[in-house]
Amino acid sequence: MSRKILRILPLMALAAILSGCKMTILNPSGDIAAQQRDLIVYSTVLMLLIIVPVILLTLFFAWRYRASNTKAKYDPEWNHSTGLEVVIWSAPLAIIVALGALTWVSTHLLDPYRPLSRIDASTPLRDEVRPLEVDVVSLDWKWLFIYPEQGIATVNELAAPVDAPINFRLTSSTMMNSFSIPALAGMVYTMPGMVTKLHAVINEPGVYQGLSANYSGHGFSDMHFKFHGLSQTDFNAWVAEAKASGERLGRQEYLAMAQPSTREPVRRFGSVDPELYGAIVERCVEPGKMCMSEMARIDAQGGAGMAGTLNVVTKRVQHAAAGRPGEDARGAERRYVLSFCTIDQPYGATGSDAAPRPASPGTTE
C-alpha cells in the first residue's frame, strides 16, 4: 500500500502545481487576445484532424498485424493502392491549404499596427470614439507609462477604461525588450530609437498581469506591472488621483529614474514634460546631446567630416549655378574653404606649423 502511495505522490504534487496556473491565454479578457486564442484553437483542431487518425491507425495496424494474429492477411508483394495514395496526399494537402488561409487572414487582421475595427465580436467601433493614447518606455528594470492627453505618467502601473480602444506607442531606453499583457493582446517588442505600436481593448473589468517577455538582465524576473481594467468613472478617478500626486516628470527626473533598479514601487506623476517621450525616442534626453533626427538631417546634407563638407560645398555650388532660389550669388558674402585642420596642423598655429593643407580646387562654402 505504501508503494502505491509513493507512486501517486508525484502526480498529486504535479496536480497541485498546475492548479495554481491561470490559463489566461485560453481565457483572455480582451478582444484581440480572444481572437488570438481562437486562432490557436482552430489551428490545433486542424492539425489534430491529421494527427489523431495517424495515431489511431498506427495503433490499429500494430494490433491488427501482430505476430499472434494468424487471421490477418499476409501479402509481402503488395506495394500500391490508388485509393490510399489519394487519401494520404489529399487530406494533408487540404489541411495545409485551410491552415495557410486561416493564418494569412488572421496575420493581417491581428497585425498590432492595425487600428481596431471593433470593440468585441458583436460591437463595431464607432468613428467618433477616440482611443486612449499611451506611450510606453521599457527601462532597466521597470515600465514607464505616459498618458499624453491626460498629462500624467506612472511607473509599473497601467490603467484603461473597459470597452475603449487603446493605442500604445512603445520604445525602450537602452536594450530590446518585450511588452506583454496576456489577457489584453499579444506581446510587442520595444527597441531603443524606434517606436512600435499596439492596438488593443479590454472588455472585462479586473486587474491583469503585465510583464517583460524578453530577457534583459538580472532584474528581468521582477519587471512586471499591474494592468487595471476600469469603468470610465473609475478611470477618471484614477487619473485625478495621479494628478493629485504633485510630482512632475521632466528630463532630469527621467534620467534619475532611468538608472537600473529592481522591484521599483508604483509611482505616479501629476504632470509630464510634453516633449519627454519624443526626446526618449530620439535618444537626446541628456542636455546638449544631439537628437537622432538632427543626425539624420546632417547626414542627408553630406555629413560633418571633411568629405561631407566638400560634398555640401559641391551641392551648394551646383545649386547656385542652376539658379536655385535661396542661393546667395553675391561674391562678397561667399565663404571659401582654404584648408582643413589636422592633428599635425592645429587651427590657429603659427610659423612652420601654419602651412595650410590645400583644399580641392573650387571648394566653396
Assigned C-alpha cell, 193:
530609437
The most confident of the ranges 44-58, 292-306, 332-346 is 44-58
Three-state SS string across the chain, please?
CHHHHHHHHHHHHHHHHHHCCCCCCCCCCEHHHHHHHHHHHHHHHHHHHHHHHHHHHHHHHHHHCCCCCCCCCCCCCCCCCHHHHHHHHHHHHHHHHHHHHHHHHHHHHCCCCCCCCEEECCEECCCCCCCEEEEEEEECCEEEEEECCCCEEEECEEEEECCCCEEEEEEECCCCEEEEECCCEEEEEECECCCEEEEECECCCEEEEEEECCCCCCCHHHCEEEEEEECHHHHHHHHHHHHCCCCEECHHHHHHHCCCCCCCCCEEECEECCCHHHHHHHCCCCCCCCCHHHHHHHHHCCCCCHHHHHHHHHHHHHHHHCCCCCCCCCHHHCCECCCCCCCCCCCCCCHHHHCCCCCCCCCEC
Q: Which residues pair with 171 in a beta bridge?
A: 137
Q: Please indicate, yes or no, whether residues 152 and 192 belong to a single structural domain of this protein.
A: yes
- Decide if 273 is inside a domain: yes
Q: What's the chain's average pLDDT?
A: 83
Q: Please indicate, yes or no, whether residues 130 and 260 belong to a single structural domain of this protein.
A: yes
Assigned C-alpha cell, 272:
509630464
Number of domains in the chain: 3
199: closest CA among 114, 120, 121, 123? 114
Q: Which domain holds residue 337?
A: 301-354
Average pLDDT estimate for 68-81: 83
Q: Please indicate, yes or no, whether residues 43 and 156 belong to a single structural domain of this protein.
A: no
Q: Please indicate, yes or no, whether residues 169 and 273 belong to a single structural domain of this protein.
A: yes
> What proportion of the chain, given as a percentage, has pLDDT over 70?
77
Give the C-alpha separation, 139 to 304, whole Å.
32
Domain CATH for 28:
1.10.287
- Decide if 167 is inside a domain: yes
154-180 residue pLDDT tens = 999 999 999 999 999 999 999 999 999
User: What are the Cα distances from residue 50, in Å, to 40, 89, 91, 93?
Assistant: 16, 11, 8, 10
Q: Please indicate, yes or no, whether residues 103 and 199 belong to a single structural domain of this protein.
A: no
84-143 residue pLDDT tens = 889 888 988 999 999 999 989 998 999 999 999 999 999 999 989 999 999 999 999 999
- Decide if 365 is inside a domain: no
For 297, half-sphere exposure in the C-beta direction (CA atoms, 13 angstrom radius) is: 6
Q: Please indicate, yes or no, whether residues 262 and 134 belong to a single structural domain of this protein.
A: yes
Q: Quick count: other Cβ atoms within 10 Å of Cβ 176?
A: 14
Could you tell me the pTM of the whole model? 0.74
Residue type, 129: V
Q: Please indicate, yes or no, whether residues 61 and 155 belong to a single structural domain of this protein.
A: no
Environment class of 77 (CB within 10 Å of its CB; exposed 0-12, middle 13-18, buried 19+): exposed
Q: Please indicate, yes or no, whether residues 228 and 276 belong to a single structural domain of this protein.
A: yes
Give the C-alpha separation, 286 to 294, whole Å.
15
257-304 residue pLDDT tens = 999 999 999 999 999 999 999 999 999 999 888 889 888 887 777 666
The pLDDT of residue 321 is: 52
Give the C-alpha separation, 11 to 63, whole Å.
30
- The pLDDT confidence band at residue 14, using thresholds 50, 70 and 90, is low
Q: Please indicate, yes or no, whether residues 102 and 129 belong to a single structural domain of this protein.
A: no
User: What are the Cα distances from residue 305, in Å, to 15, 315, 344?
Assistant: 67, 15, 17
pLDDT above 70: residue 195: yes
pLDDT above 70: residue 318: no
Q: Please indicate, yes or no, whether residues 218 and 89 belong to a single structural domain of this protein.
A: no
- Decide if 64 is inside a domain: yes
pLDDT above 50: residue 326: no
Give the C-alpha separation, 177 to 171, whole Å.
9
